[in-house]
């Protein structure tokens, strides 16, 4: 019976490695096609890797905590298929994230051997099947875990945090191993600061008409947060100033102006700052932006987005005022993008209208840009255009 070496597959656009979190199998164990082999964490998500063959686990090539480059051996499986009759490896299902789409056909396959979801816990506990599985592995009682996901949903990070507190050294200091998503965030921020000469500009916009439009939509049965207005205004301003939707090609010293406008949405999650991508945002109306953004944000916080929804942004929006009294800040560019736009909280502010100081709702905007691509004059033009679209949302 032949031995087959299963190599770590490409789990998403531009992802070159993944960290092995835990094995779901042991050497000598029998597995079926699509049975979960292991959990890996990329820079974007946690994925359960399925088996492409039925057989016996002959050798595990990596240890939990180890980073495995794409294409490197992951596991050797001794196939139960007789020599000469072996079928080609089947595409697997990313367990916990839904069936993987087959590019050739677009058909979604459903695994025949994925274990059934864990039995429900107490009625007040909300958790995905793979989170319940992780809780069982770590011996964590979900009823005693405080969920930090949407609607109090228990996330994988909640379970692992409950299972093991950071170790304490002799001085009482706690040490936290930086791995997976947090390690990727650190690398990305270091790359941004050390390779991109960036500067930041600020402005305040009058949100009177934006809030009035939002109220009209609410009365019509369409509830919309300010975020979709922010995204739509950024898209419109980017159309007028396409240089802000570009990257710097370091290998060729060229500026690459992107045709598509894919807006990254900076989201605070229990795993750290994630940036799901609102693709082709310039093709969506306000209601479509609102619906898709809501799906992406909820998915990022629940850890359920596939890697393809976490890569490929061309300009990023961060709502720094969404979770507290923060007025503004200096957002850091998300490489290899040229621009990131930050929005503060909308609240009453003194403004001069017709020579009189009046209180009107408004918010700060900050944009950080790559100075290799954009000079101060163009940044000011972009920011001015952005303010105009925010102040005239129905134009």
User: What is the set of active-site residues?
Assistant: 371
Distance, CA of 145 to CA of 99 (rounded, Å)? 28
User: Under DSSP, is residue 167 helix (H, G, I), strand (E, B) or coil?
Assistant: coil
Sign of the alpha-carbon dihedral angle for 183, 188, 189, 195? positive
Place of tokens 């809780």: 135
Secondary element (H or E) of residue 37: strand 36-41
Secondary element (H or E) of residue 291: helix 286-302
Q: Which two tokens stand for residue 363?
A: 């918010």
Burial class from Cβ neighbours inside 10 Å (0-12, 13-18, 19+) for residue 89 reads middle
Q: Pairing relation of β-strands 315-319 and 263-265?
A: parallel
Q: State phi, psi for 209 to the nearest 5 degrees.
A: -75, -30
The CA distances from residue 164 to 128, 140, 167, 356, 365, in Å, are 20, 10, 8, 59, 40
Beta strand residue intervals within 207-304, DSSP E: 246-249, 254-257, 263-265, 267-269, 272-274, 277-278
DSSP annotation of 166:
P
Question: b/e per residue, 282-293, with b = 16+ CB within 10 A?
Answer: eebebeebbebb
Place of tokens 């941004």: 192
List CB contacts of 189: < 8 A, sequence separation 6 or more.
332
Q: Which two tokens stand for residue 323?
A: 């979770």
SS3 labels along 24-36: CCCCCCEECCCCE
């Amino acid at each position: 019976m032949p031995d087959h070496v299963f190599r770590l597959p490409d789990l998403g656009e531009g992802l070159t490695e993944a960290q092995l979190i835990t094995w779901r199998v042991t050497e000598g164990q029998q597995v079926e096609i699509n049975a979960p082999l292991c959990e890996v964490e990329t820079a974007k998500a946690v994925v359960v890797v399925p088996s492409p063959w039925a057989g016996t686990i002959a050798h595990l090539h990596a240890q939990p905590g180890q980073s495995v480059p794409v294409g490197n051996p992951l596991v050797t499986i001794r196939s139960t298929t007789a020599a000469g009759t072996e079928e080609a490896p089947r595409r697997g299902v990313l367990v916990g994230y839904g069936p993987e789409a087959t590019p050739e056909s677009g058909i979604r396959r459903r695994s025949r051997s994925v274990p059934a979801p864990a039995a429900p816990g107490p009625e007040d506990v909300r958790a995905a099947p793979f989170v319940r599985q992780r809780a069982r592995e770590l011996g964590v009682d979900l009823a005693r875990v405080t969920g930090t996901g949407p609607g109090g949903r228990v996330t994988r990070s909640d379970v692992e945090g409950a299972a093991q507190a950071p170790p304490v050294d002799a001085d009482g200091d706690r040490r936290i191993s930086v791995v997976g998503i947090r390690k990727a965030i650190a690398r990305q921020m270091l790359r941004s600061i050390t390779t991109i000469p960036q500067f930041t500009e600020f402005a305040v916009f009058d949100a009177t008409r934006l809030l009035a439009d939002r109220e009209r939509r609410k009365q019509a049965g369409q509830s919309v947060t300010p975020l979709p207005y922010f995204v739509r205004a950024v898209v419109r301003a980017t159309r007028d100033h396409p240089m802000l939707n570009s990257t710097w090609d370091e290998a060729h010293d060229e500026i690459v102006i992107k045709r598509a406008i894919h807006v990254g949405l900076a989201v605070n999650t229990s795993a750290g700052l994630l940036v799901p991508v609102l693709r082709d945002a310039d093709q969506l109306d306000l209601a479509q932006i609102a619906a898709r953004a809501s799906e992406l944000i909820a998915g990022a916080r629940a850890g359920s987005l596939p890697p393809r929804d976490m890569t490929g942004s061309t300009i990023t929006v961060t709502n720094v005022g969404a979770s507290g009294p923060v007025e503004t800040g200096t957002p850091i560019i998300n490489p290899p993008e040229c621009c990131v736009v930050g929005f503060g909280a909308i609240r009453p502010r003194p403004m001069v209208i017709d020579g009189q100081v009046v209180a009107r709702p408004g918010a700060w905007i900050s944009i950080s840009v790559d100075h290799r691509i954009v000079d101060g004059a163009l940044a000011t033009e972009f920011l001015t255009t952005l303010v105009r679209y925010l102040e005239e949302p129905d134009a």
